[in-house]
Structure formats: C-alpha cells, structure tokens
Amino acid sequence: MKMVRSAFTDENFLKYLDTFTKLDFLTVGLMLGQPTDAKDYIIHFTRTPPYRGGGENSPKKFTDLPDVWIADHARHVTRMLPGGMYVLGLFIVSQEDIFSSTCISKLKTILSQVHKKLNANTFLYGTPNGCEKLVLHYSPSSRYVCKNYNYETASLSNAEIKFQSSLAVKWLQIECKYELDQIFPIIVEKANWPLKKHMNEILQLLNTNLQTAVYFFDGEIKDSNECLETIGKKQKSQLRLAQNDDENKLMQVTIVLPIGSNSSSEVEILNSGGQIRLAGHVASKVWLYPKATVQYASAAIMQDIVRSLAARLEMHWDSLIEEEHGSPEDTNSVHETPRRVLVNLPTTKVTLSDYLFPGEGSQEAQISLSELLDIKVLEPDSILDVEGQPDMPELCTEGVEGDCDDILPSTTNKKIYIAGLGFAFVVLIISLLIHFIKG
C-alpha cells in the first residue's frame, strides 16, 4: 500500500489563504519548500501576481486560469530559491471544486505547463528527483483538500498538509564560496557562436565539474551517508560550544574541483578562435533539514551555484535588445549581470535571493519581492546585499588588457565581453576574444 504524501508548514499560512476567500475572484499561487524521503517542508506560500493587472480582468472561473502565466511565475520564483528548495506545488483558493470532472483537465494542463517551464533550462534545477507536485484547494465551505499529482501516471492521489503552530525544523545553514579563475578556449569552428551559446556550454562544463567535485564540510571529508545533524552534534561536543539548541547551525563547505577526467599526459593542439575567461567567486548559502545527508548537502550546494549563475545569465539575455556580433574593428563590450541579494522569509530564517541589475538598489528588490513572493519588506536594511557592485574599470584593466592585448597581433579582429557578478563576494568576468584566421 502506497503511503500518503505528507507536508508540514506554518499555521500562519492558513490565515494567508483565508484572506483570499473574501475576493470575488479565485486566487492561485505556489507552495515553496524542501522535499525529503519522509515528508515535505513548505516554507512559503506566494500568490501568483494578478493576470493583466487584476481587478475585472482576474479570472473568476477555474477553467479561465492562464496556465502559461502561472508556469512563468514558477520559473521566476525558482530562480530565487536556494539549492535544495523547489516549487513543491500549487494552491488554489476558490468556491469551485478543482478536483471535479469539469476542472480536472484544466488542472492537469496547468501542472503540465509548470513542469515544462521548470525543465526548459536544466541548469535552474527546477524539479527534484520525484515527478510529483502537491495541489491544495482551499475554500470557505470545505476548508482545504490536498492531492498529489504524479506526472508519470498523470494521476491524482490523496495527500495531507499539516499546519503547525511552529514548523519544528531547526534548519542547518551551509555557506560556501566557490572560487573560479579559468580560461575556456574557443576552437575556430565555434568562433562565430553567439555569447549565449558559449555560456551555456561553459555552464554544462561547470555543472559536470561540480558533480564530480570533493566537498569538505568544516575542513573535513565526510562520509556521503553521514547525517548533517550528527556532524553538528559531534563538533559541538568536541568544542564544548555553549550554543542554544534553537539557533541555526552553520557549516562551511569548501569545494575542490577535479583536475580533469583525462589523465593522459598527451597534449592536443587545437586551432583557437578565441577564449572566455571566468574569474572570481560565487557566494552560496543553502538551508537543509537536520536529517539531510552529506550527499544531499553537496548536491544542494552544487545546485545553488549553478542555479544562481543560470538565473543571472537568463535575466541578462532577457534584458538585451540584441546580442553584439563581430565587427571589422576591435570592440570592447561590458556585460554586467545582476548581483545577488538575500532576504529572510517572514515565518522562518531561511533566506531567498533576488537579483538586481547595475544601478538598482533595495527599492527595486522590494518591488520584485512583493510581486513574485508576495512579501512586504518594510525595512530596506533587511535586504542583504551580499555581493556589492563590481569595480568594472579595474576588472576591465586586469582581466582584459593585461591578458589579451599583448598576445594578439595588432591586425587581429577581436571582441571582448566582460560580465561582473559583484566584486566583494561574486565576480564573473567573461572576456570573449574572437579572431578570424585567414587561410
């Protein structure tokens, strides 16, 4: 007999859902959290922004819900989640029974669109290993009913959500600084690729390297099946720390990347059409349930780094009117991607991310947090700018002129791209050098 899927969350979200019952139109939103083998932890409920400005344009019937709009909201929110956290499912507040025969087809269409959107960019890690989503229906008359949707069988089964006075999870906080200073050569056959295609190829390489890397927890290699909670207790006993049990545990993780999968000493000579250089470091912070293993934590750190880079690059491509292409003259172009800021959720110490473009500050973050997460941030100081603005002139000088101009003939056509992801904590420098070899 298959066990019923269970999820736990804070009872304050019942009050949140109840506020939408007073509206004359239905409300749909996302449930965010961390899945485990035994149960799921929902850390936040967020309403999907009203379609086309809301008001009279808001759909009043479940079958009129814009599925692509909901799916796009799921993609935007996934960018903001730390590694190990996902969009666990949907909630719908309405008088209609969304599990009835008249609504079930529309529900499956919405869930399919969400699944498709979250898997469109594999580097966002939008879907956990399981192919399931929770669906919560809340109404004034019947209160709430929860179901579990299985994508493989396209079927719904019973599930339960328990609203507790206090979500009894002592989240473990893990921090990591991922340092990067690497040059990626571009072979002549790929020299005319657009920058986006180059960066997707590099993301794939970084993703593979992080999957095969060695992760040190507080300076030590731990057994992959060891529980994080056990590690924390051992360290507390050894160091005799007078730490309150209710405080969030903090671990530092160091990543050691493999030298390369090819151990051969042979050197292969290729015709280079340019190079891309990435330099700096990425700040990562994830929050895990106490029973999480070292293997789970390593995967969450890896996901957080790749997801953060992929999110920034996606936002950067979307912001460009058009991508620059080769020209007969030397050109220097600066591509500065958004930087990461952190904000605490109202009911937990878990932090989510927002990304600010150059020149943007806490006011812009307050707007996007309100729209995408339905969070009202009243104090700008509660938005933690963990990366800061990069010193672009200095980066251009060190990362481009010193590395490139002295090694290229003056007659060579070249194009240089630089992208800064913050300077204090994260710097991503991309210098793309393209020259054409005449036969």
| Residue 368 resides in a domain | no
Please give the residue that has the higher pLDDT: either 435 or 90. Answer: 90
| Residue 435 resides in a domain | no
Pick from 164, 196, 221: which residue ends a domain? 164
| Residue 110 resides in a domain | yes
Instruction: Tell whether 205 and 152 lie within a shared domain.
Output: no
Instruction: Tell whether 132 and 179 lie within a shared domain.
Output: no
The average pLDDT across 380-400 equals 65
Kindly give, in sequence order, each residue whose CB lies less than 8 Å from that of residue 309, ignoring residues fewer than 6 positions away.
123, 203, 206, 282, 421, 428
Q: Which two tokens stand for residue 103?
A: 């609504």
For the chain, the domain total comes to 2
User: What is the C-alpha separation between 268 and 371, in angstroms, rounded?
Assistant: 52
| Residue 370 resides in a domain | no
Reported confidence tier of residue 358, pLDDT bands at 50, 70, 90: confident
The average pLDDT across 346-373 equals 89
Instruction: Tell whether 84 and 214 lie within a shared domain.
Output: no
Q: What is the pTM of this model?
A: 0.84
| Residue 342 resides in a domain | no
pLDDT at 167: 66
Q: Taking the chain, what is the end-to-end CA distance rounded to the nearest angstrom?
A: 70
Q: Would you say the C-alpha torsion 413, 189, 186, 304 has a positive or negative sign?
A: positive
Instruction: Tell whether 122 and 176 lie within a shared domain.
Output: no
**Is the model's pLDDT at 263 over the cut of 60?**
no
Average pLDDT, the chain: 80
The average pLDDT across 73-98 equals 96
Q: Which two tokens stand for residue 80?
A: 């903001």
Give the 3-state secondary structure of residue 26. coil
pLDDT at 264: 53
Structural domain of 211: 172-336+390-418
Instruction: Tell whether 260 and 396 lie within a shared domain.
Output: yes
The average pLDDT across 104-123 equals 96
User: Tell me: the pLDDT tens digits for 212-221?
Assistant: 999 999 999 9
Instruction: Tell whether 211 and 131 lie within a shared domain.
Output: no
CB distance 89 to 136 below 8 Å? yes
Instruction: Tell whether 89 and 121 lie within a shared domain.
Output: yes
Please give the residue that has the higher pLDDT: either 142 or 155. Answer: 155
Instruction: Tell whether 269 and 291 lie within a shared domain.
Output: yes
pLDDT at 433: 37
Instruction: Tell whether 152 and 178 lie within a shared domain.
Output: no
**Is the model's pLDDT at 199 over the cut of 60?**
yes
Pick from 143, 164, 185: which residue ends a domain? 164
**What is the chain's percent helix, strand, coil content, to nearest 5?**
30, 30, 40
Instruction: Tell whether 238 and 117 lie within a shared domain.
Output: no
| Residue 364 resides in a domain | no
| Residue 429 resides in a domain | no
Pick from 164, 182, 199: which residue ends a domain? 164
User: Tell me: the pLDDT tens digits for 129-142?
Assistant: 778 999 999 998 77
Instruction: Tell whether 147 and 226 lie within a shared domain.
Output: no
- Give me the residues paired with residue 339 across strands: 356
User: Tell me: the pLDDT tens digits for 156-196?
Assistant: 999 999 998 876 678 999 999 887 777 788 888 888 888 88
Q: Would you say the C-alpha torsion 237, 238, 242, 248 has a positive or negative sign?
A: negative
User: CB-based burial of residue 12 (10 Å sphere; 0-12 exposed, 13-18 middle, 19+ buried)?
Assistant: middle
User: What is the C-alpha separation between 10 and 168, in angstroms, rounded?
Assistant: 9
CATH number, residue 128:
3.40.140.10
Instruction: Tell whether 101 and 203 lie within a shared domain.
Output: no
| Residue 385 resides in a domain | no
pLDDT at 235: 60
The average pLDDT across 84-90 equals 97
Of the listed ranges 9-18, 197-206, 237-246, 424-433, the least confidently predicted one is 424-433
DSSP symbols for 255-267:
EE--S-S------
CB distance 85 to 46 below 8 Å? no
Helical packing angle, 67-80 and 362-373, nearest 10°: 130
